[in-house]
A and B are shown apart, each in its own frame.
Chain A
């Protein structure tokens, strides 16, 4: 049996290795490039002079041209700068939300796995509860409960993304805690804290990081959706959801650029982070991590 397992593993390994090595190099490069783009968009958006996206009625309703790459809207905002600014806001909210959700998931998932019993049941039940109301409706409710606005969208997005990651972390902690190498460590007299720090954390951390990164695109998509519906950031603010919401009024006039470009930028950022998450998952896989 070992033979077959070994040879199948060998052939799988070989199959995997076809990609592993150059993939690893590519993964590191990709991670750097994606990280730089994200940070660049964030920094550019946050430090941008407000003049760059201020309204200028003399320039309103222009199709994309050499000066205004993405055109201008009915108030004469330069859509390129306006969108970059919006993306930066989205990224800030997304970061905040994924950090909060990731933290909640880490705590709840770990407690659930470590305590077991009724604590575990309650936490799983809570996760089920959050997942049994459609996510969009939950976002609406939370945002509504605090009267909407920026606070509403931040709270809503931050408080609703933890259940799935909680389950993942719980399963992972449970798997490691009941694993043979932890049982061996315990038999050698290591205490719970020592085991948690030396065995569980190094094995769960990569999953946690990847999971948290992958929350980010969901968070910014939901932020923009809430804003689009009128519950999030103010509709005159430079947010992608708000821009798209106001673009609706001008669709009939043929101002296609108002909808197309800001949306594309959103898609680009989301794809970027999806890819980054997958990429880091590759890099932290214990079977490819050491080379």
Chain B
């Protein structure tokens, strides 16, 4: 059995080698994973007993070769994680898969999946939740296919000594947990490693450090697929980037194509992604990704595309080779068209003038009074006795100022936000607004927007009501935030996180807000939406002399929007 498999493998390698030479010389290496025309749908019942299929992935393709890191990027809901689940055969029962997934040229059917899972293919999950909460680390890492010695070696490799062997997941710090998760992939000595969002909440520096491990894997001849929504990270560490949108592959490009402002990119959406990065244009694109149950006829990006023609809404574009990459677009951006069509026009938001490094106008403050000050004086806080989250911290912000609070997860950034907004009281030290204790009656001048919008709206209220609890924002602001009127009649569970977050932000942009604290509000969103909502916030802040504290782990974002950055 094992012998025959080996034979097969070698013959496939040979075949691939020839094919590779013919098409792309630089990819002469063996293709480990090839996904071609993948469709994924969930069986549902519509009204009555009529059965229907909700198609969440349509005609999706990618490939990963030995020795390379392939980054899969896309907004949430684009089908990134489902792809990983499809590769490993761990989709729910009502999922149906069509199309082809091949592993070393061999069709990955259920039997092959069962044989390869945990030996030739390794999955690196994103958080400690994927570990059995009641199993000790060594046993956990060992799995069912390795010995304790090998598990020990794998942990050693990541600098985790014997002390962690007997720890339970809840006893691991964030950094340790990540290393434990990655070590499960080492032990399996796999040819293919798929990592699902391995770097959430890390600063770019830390994330790059983490990606080094994957580079080592690739250098050892493995194929690595990293699923991420962090475009920065993707193009600075991967070899190849696959852009997903609404369950489709839009573009497959070398990572280098994303550099230099993405001038070599082929698909308008890829360009939009690059342009939306804080360090680039920070340029928003109106509209939202369509839902799986309400897809347009032709190109899925047509409703947002600046290059759209009549054909685009009529015809479904195929994925095709173009200028050294692959693209799904009827009018891919060629060399000749590049300058004329894209130009270098800046976004006309009326603020991007002036000489500030960040490109935004300076604050307008009430001249008569002078800006009021929100300050924390040597505050300390701990949720649990003896485990301080904040110790003796000073912080201050004036009305009209935009201050970044920057640092990786777990440093107490959110807690400081809670203290400054009055949601929590410091155990020692004081928080003062204009020299007085925080006002707790009436509309509070200090408002907080949370990271998870699903928790910040009443699940039994329509969103219009949620908005009206604060104020009725003018049409202009709603448009700036991309809120559609129809959404106001919807219930929270009918909208995506990005859509809900826009409501939470609009609610807090009430002119009575003097300081707005934004706690990682766009961490869960794609870069295009991030650019859109931040532009709206900054505009509102400048117009009303409002202060903003931007809590973030993204230095690029902080540098883009802030007057001043405080590291914590």
Contacts and interface: CB of A to CB of B under 8 A. Distances in A.
Interface of A: 1-4, 6-8, 10-12, 14-15, 17-22, 25, 179-181, 183-185, 187-190, 198-199, 202-203, 286-287, 289-290
A283 to B, nearest CB: 13
Contacts of B447: 187-188
B460 interface: yes
A25 B447 CA distance: 42
B16 interface: no
B163 interface: no
B197 A286 contact: no
Contact of B80 (A7, A14, A199): A7
Given A18-B44, A18-B94, 15 more contacts: A2-B497, A2-B525, A4-B81, A6-B76, A6-B496, A7-B76, A7-B81, A21-B44, A21-B47, A181-B457, A187-B421, A187-B446, A202-B461, A286-B460, A290-B494
27 contacts: A3-B80, A3-B229, A4-B81, A6-B496, A6-B497, A7-B85, A11-B42, A11-B85, A12-B92, A14-B92, A14-B95, A15-B42, A21-B46, A21-B48, A25-B48, A180-B452, A183-B423, A184-B448, A184-B456, A185-B469, A187-B448, A188-B444, A188-B470, A202-B458, A202-B461, A286-B459, A289-B460
A21 B44 CA distance: 9
Interface in B468-503: 469-470, 491, 493-494, 496-497
B78 to A, nearest CB: 8
A189 B444 contact: yes
B455 A179 contact: yes
A14 B44 contact: yes
Nearest to B444: A187
Task: Output the residue of A1, A10, A19 with the most chain B CB within 10 A.
Answer: A1
Interface of B: 42-49, 54, 56, 74, 76-82, 85, 91-95, 126-127, 196-197, 200-201, 227, 229, 292, 421-423, 441-444, 446-448, 450, 452, 455-461, 466, 469-470, 491, 493-494, 496-497, 504, 507-508, 510, 523-525
Nearest to A290: B491
Nearest to A20: B45
Contacts, number: 133
Contact of B43 (A1, A18, A22): A18
Nearest to B424: A183
Nearest to A182: B458
Contacts of A199: 458
A179 B423 CA distance: 11
Contacts of B54: 14
Contacts of A3: 74, 76-78, 80-81, 197, 227, 229
Nearest to B524: A2
B162 to A, nearest CB: 31
Contacts of B466: 181
A22 B493 contact: no
B82 A11 contact: yes
Nearest to B197: A1
Contacts of B423: 183, 187
Contact of A188 (B81, B469, B523): B469
Contacts of B458: 181, 198-199, 202-203
A35 B300 CA distance: 48
A45 B494 CA distance: 46
A18 B41 CA distance: 12
A10 B127 contact: no
Contacts of B127: 1
B93 A290 contact: no
Nearest to A206: B460
Contacts of A203: 458-460
Contact of B93 (A15, A17, A20): A15
A111 B448 CA distance: 28
Nearest to B470: A188
Contact of A15 (B46, B94, B292): B94
Contacts of B446: 187
B94 A14 contact: yes
A188 B443 contact: yes
3 tightest Cβ-Cβ pairs between the two chains A and B: A2-B524, A14-B42, A189-B443
Contacts of A18: 43-45, 94
Nearest to B130: A4
